Structure 1
Amino acid sequence: MNDSGRSGSTVRLSVLGTTDLHGNVFNWDYFKNAEYDDAAHNDLGLAKISTLVKEFRAQAVPNSPAPLLLDAGDTIQGTPLAYYFARIQPITGDSVQPGDGVHPMAAAMNEIGYDAAALGNHEFNYGVDLLRKFARQLDFPLLGANAQDWTTGLPAFPPYVLRRVSVRGGHPITVGILGLTNPGIAIWDKAEVENRLRFGGIVEQAKIWVPRVRRAGADVVIVAAHSGIDVSSSYGDALPVPENASGLMAEQVPGIDAVLVGHAHQEVAERIVTNHQTGEQVVLTEPLKWGMRLAVIDLDLQTIGGRWKVVGRQSHVLNANTVDADPAVVRLLQKDHDKVVEYVNSKIGSCTDAMSAATARWENTAALDFVNFVQADTVSKALAGTPQAGLPVLAIAAPFNRAAGIPAGDVSIRDIAGLYAFDNTLLAVTMTGAQVQDYLEFSAQYFQQIAGTGPFTPDQLTNAPTPTAPNGTPDYNYDVVGGLTSPLSYTIDVAKPTGSRITDLAYAGAPIALDQQFVVAVNNYRQSGSGNFPHIAKAPVIYNRQLEIRQLIIDHVTTTGTLDPATVKTTTWSLTSNGAPIAIDQRAPVR
């Protein structure tokens, strides 16, 4: 491959990429207090990504353009490490020295030498002010062309950046990097962004900004898009633009050479699509999540008419489990890591019997009942003395983490963090009996339609595909509803088609009336419309103190000292097939 810039000669520009790092620096599972491992034996974290980047830079073809390094968003949320520096010891934004108010993700990414990153939706979980502090600590721009000021409509973050890459024997290549984030932020973090920021559609904003990047002098345009490749939306029609639209953008917006994809947590080594207008090919890649993979985009360029033009494109991914952690990153952040390990392992109480969430997808469990109890109890106490004080209180929870559980004996913060892995806050709305039934019917889409009583493996019953989840309904979009002072009981008949599965729906042992009023405790993710569950997003909000549910659970255990599962466990729902109980073969492997 010729490294000169003469007309007709070819040079190769490589662009490296990560996405959905979610607060992972070390190959460590804070919930298990052990080195991370999974069924595929993946490793994770920026310390290993750093090694991959250094090796790639060192092995680059002599005199070839220096590779660029990008990220496609969701950086500062997802692990106790990220939570600690957002809530327990919040970053100051005034320092760039690790251990002195700087976010560990900023310190690690600066050390590795990123050139740009896109905003992810989870960047907004802790509020715009903390996000601004994080952005100030970065040595590179945090891009979001479609994150717009509420009033003016102008970009609230840099929309793009131009990087000039030297070429031996020729003029530099000007690379335009455009960042686009997910429009679902308007729903998922409504409480944080309403009246402050708007979020335009991926395709719509790309049509505006890609030509501007070209006019600014870009020879090459790379889009870092926090939006999956294949078109779908978890929020249904709650927004007029899709959640996942990177592939659609590549097809419909001329002038894009490559897309670093994020948000979907999928491994896509290479996807080539053809732009409908120009006939030019676009390469897309998504490097899984959590720093498990490093994407490598190779673009071959020639000078045509005095300008660089991409004439070939390909991509692949590198696996983090093939290398050791970079000692430089480890040294830089070891103290921060140790501080968080100490925090999450601190004891806050005890539990009389173990509670596991392993079977929560197909049977009632004390673990999920415990989450619902804390949510409902918090709301009930807060509503004392209000007009809604006399209404029955229900609560909604999902089986987020199949490996979660509270052990018998000492209970630590990491036990609670594993049980409730997200930084959701608590709200309460009012709903009628008819709306509760509709809600449960929608939730029951999670189960596949099966005749007979089994025994069935869990995978034969759960994670049914739907039009909005063609690869299977995720666990976090299956909700269990329970009562506080009296049980809400129901059965789910999986032999029936979706929409007619809920039977024997009763509260306190009596069939619920369709016009009966309930207070329903729910997390902000679901109340905002995520998952497209019926009624919940439009129901009147009667409680919203912005308190994190995980912290409420921690406070409950700390205050009570001893947790007894018998005080929260109630058998309120079950699976049936044409009215007969279903047998589950729990010995079968669970995904």
Structure 2
Amino acid sequence: MTSSSVPPRPALPGSGSPVHDLTVLGSTDTHGFVYNWDYYRDAEYDDPAGNDVGLAKLATLIHRVRAERGDRPTLVLDAGDTIQGTPLTTYYARQEPITSTGQTHPVARAMNLIGYDAVVLGNHEFNYGLPLLEHWIRQLDCPALAANAVHHDSGEPAYQPYQMTRFAPGPGLPELVVGILGLTNPGTAIWDRAVVEGRLRFEDMVACAHRWVPVIRAAGAHVVLVSAHGGDSGASSYGPEMPNENPTAFIAEQVPGIDAILFGHAHQEVPQRFVTNRVTGDRVLLCEPSYWGQRLARIDLSLVTDGTGWRVAGARSALLNTNTVAEDPAVLAAVRPQHARTVDYVNRVVATSVVEMSAAESRYRDTPILSYVNEVQADAVRTALAGTAYGGLPVLSVTPPFRRTAVFPAGDVRIKDVAGLYIFDNTLEAVLLDGREVAAHLERSARYFRRFAPQEPVDPARISDPRVPDHNYDIMSGVDYDIDISRPVGDRITRLTHAGTDQPVVATDRFVVAVNSYRRAGGGNFPAVVRPAIHHDHREIRQLLIDWAQRRGKIDPADFYRQNWRLVRAGVPVF
């Protein structure tokens, strides 16, 4: 069957037919939150908007809707990114990995109790390697779907592509068959290249939907749902070397035969969006329920039958807020020992800080806490390359400010403080750059600052684009530089010298640059560092930060901090 040969939906009568319904409940981007708990603050989760988080909160809403619906058809789906993002999931991937202990993963415990019907693999499912992912999938009571993740050599699906679910709506009514297609994000090939290269390929999500929707229809599905780990913006954070990162609206527009799409990855709230399919003229419903379990999607599809089949006659969706309910006690009880063990771990003291250090201003001001990250990265690379052909080259280091609320308090510094500074599971790599490429990387980061006229007041709250994540503002150590925010994008690095000197960096200079694995693999689209690495350190950078602090016992900015960059306006420092 070709991609265009979608079996037509049956021509069923409309107005005179009894109306039935199917409810689809959906989560996405829960990122390891089970409890409504902030492990970095060691307190109940709280944010200025009053949101709550976690699978235990989602469970209460899901059970409530299921009870309300009784025997009527109801599905519970997840659109990916579930096993990475909190110290809880990091602990059971790295400190007591489920692959070694045989323990059931806390997220699997929670999802099995909730009774998910299918989950989709997000890009972060691959962070801890394929063996742990496979172990987690085996622990689930439902299928894990990813039609566009295929074996590198054969091109055959590496995971289950779709799920067929059957309902008996009632006496005298035909069986209702629902097909669920799962699509993961092709950016995984960039972001987790070290894990998947040579083993998996990630196909274009739109092309993959073209391939599989006709198969699902031909298998007898009356309703076709897509659960996709990709946003609806049509934009990508990387270059054109991989298929589109956020193509969900394109799928709805270009692939006939889809009734509704639950999607994630973009961490947005999309309560209800309709996209008209160009082939059929049908309106396809799209819904994204925020992230971390803050919202639950509820999609309601009206169905009509002629006595032999079903078709969708209408659709609507809304988001339910988890801050309106209590956590489900059964989910809390099932995960409590693992939660408690994680809390104990993150509260261990690793060092003493001489002064308080905060990341609040690190996007636009040189701060000691970001210098700490760069010092640890550069030190690790210098040590690893000593005695090699690269050992005599200057070592620069790059890190972005991941989390504005990160603080090292004066006094005891605990694992939660370090983990709160570096919240991602990136590993450390190093690349070789020349002076021109170093300048290009700094220009790429500098482009995200708002341009200010020479006499215009500079408000720190408005200095950076709020639409751009903080992790795109790379800070570099090992060179001195000015970023002139009065100048146009691409011409903002007005002073670039060797560290502590007035000697300009020139195109022929050579440097080793320490960089995280996400950035080196293309994440954020910083092309200067997308090249073969000359060094891989397979430990997470977060663990390097912890180990460095433990070895020294004291964190003192005097040991590593020297202001090496600044924002200027027409050459005059902004701060």
Deviations, residues 63-89 of structure 1 (Å, cap 9, x unaligned): 5x2310000000100000000010001
Do structure 1's residue 516 and structure 2's residue 509 form an aligned pair? yes
Alignment RMSD (CA, Å): 1.4
Secondary structure in 1 aligned to 2:441?
Answer: helix
Q: In the alignment, is the contact (CA less than 8 A) between 1:17 and 1:296 conserved in 2? A: yes
2:235 to 232, 236, 246: 232
Q: Which residue does 2:487 correspond to in 1?
A: 496
- Count of aligned pairs between the two proteins: 559
- TM-aligned CA deviation for residue 449 of structure 1: 1.1
Secondary structure in 2 aligned to 1:446?
Answer: coil
Give the counterpart letter for 2:121 in structure 1: L
Give the counterpart letter for 2:536 in structure 1: N
Give the counterpart letter for 1:551 in structure 2: Q
Q: Which residue does 2:90 correspond to in 1?
A: 83
Secondary structure in 1 aligned to 2:26?
Answer: strand
Q: In the alignment, is the contact (CA less than 8 A) between 2:148 and 2:161 conserved in 1? A: yes
Q: In the alignment, is the contact (CA less than 8 A) between 1:93 and 1:134 conserved in 2? A: no
Secondary structure in 2 aligned to 1:463?
Answer: coil
Q: In the alignment, is the contact (CA less than 8 A) between 2:452 and 2:458 conserved in 1? A: no
Q: Which residue does 2:212 correspond to in 1?
A: 209
Q: Which residue does 2:301 correspond to in 1?
A: 299
- TM-aligned CA deviation for residue 530 of structure 1: 1.0
Give the counterpart letter for 2:464 in structure 1: T
2:441 to 439, 442, 451: 439
Q: Which residue does 1:174 correspond to in 2?
A: 177
Equivalent runs, 1:151-550 vs 2, <5 Å: 151-169=153-171, 170-239=173-242, 241-304=243-306, 306-452=308-454, 454-463=456-465, 472-483=467-478, 488-508=479-499, 509=501, 510-538=503-531, 540-550=532-542
Q: In the alignment, is the contact (CA less than 8 A) between 2:99 and 2:131 conserved in 1? A: no
Give the counterpart letter for 2:488 in structure 1: P
Q: In the alignment, is the contact (CA less than 8 A) between 1:454 and 1:582 conserved in 2? A: no
Output the CA distance in 2 between the equivalents of 1:319 and 1:342: 30
Q: In the alignment, is the contact (CA less than 8 A) between 1:453 and 1:582 conserved in 2? A: no
- TM-aligned CA deviation for residue 93 of structure 1: 8.4
Do structure 1's residue 73 and structure 2's residue 45 form an aligned pair? no
Output the CA distance in 1 between the equivalents of 2:455 and 2:382: 39
Secondary structure in 2 aligned to 1:92?
Answer: helix
- TM-aligned CA deviation for residue 305 of structure 1: 7.3
- TM-aligned CA deviation for residue 459 of structure 1: 3.1
Change (3 A) 1:172 1:6: farther
Secondary structure in 1 aligned to 2:168?
Answer: strand
Same amino acid, percent of matched pairs: 52
- TM-score, L = length of structure 2: 0.95
Output the CA distance in 1 between the equivalents of 2:33 and 2:347: 18
- TM-score, L = length of structure 1: 0.93
Which consecutive unaligned segments of at least 5 residues does structure 1 have?
A: 96-100, 465-471, 584-591
Give the counterpart letter for 2:187 in structure 1: G
Deviations, residues 44-67 of structure 1 (Å, cap 9, x unaligned): 00001000011111122x55x231
Output the CA distance in 2 between the equivalents of 1:222 and 1:256: 6
Give the counterpart letter for 1:16 in structure 2: L
Deviations, residues 364-413 of structure 1 (Å, cap 9, x unaligned): 00000000000000000010110110000000000100000211111110
2:22 to 7, 10, 13: 13
Secondary structure in 2 aligned to 1:52?
Answer: helix
Change (3 A) 1:393 1:362: same
Output the CA distance in 1 between the equivalents of 2:312 and 2:68: 22
Q: Which residue does 1:554 correspond to in 2?
A: 546
Q: Which residue does 2:60 correspond to in 1?
A: 51
Deviations, residues 343-368 of structure 1 (Å, cap 9, x unaligned): 00011111111111000011000000
- TM-aligned CA deviation for residue 453 of structure 1: 5.1
Q: In the alignment, is the contact (CA less than 8 A) between 1:93 and 1:137 conserved in 2? A: no
Q: In the alignment, is the contact (CA less than 8 A) between 1:238 and 1:529 conserved in 2? A: no
- TM-aligned CA deviation for residue 236 of structure 1: 2.2
Q: In the alignment, is the contact (CA less than 8 A) between 2:396 and 2:512 conserved in 1? A: yes
- TM-aligned CA deviation for residue 230 of structure 1: 1.4
Give the counterpart letter for 1:43 in structure 2: D
1:146 to 145, 148, 151: 148
Output the CA distance in 1 between the equivalents of 2:100 and 2:434: 46
Change (3 A) 1:82 1:564: same
- TM-aligned CA deviation for residue 331 of structure 1: 1.0
Deviations, residues 497-555 of structure 1 (Å, cap 9, x unaligned): 100000110013111121100000000000001111122112x4211131210000000
Q: In the alignment, is the contact (CA less than 8 A) between 2:174 and 2:307 conserved in 1? A: no
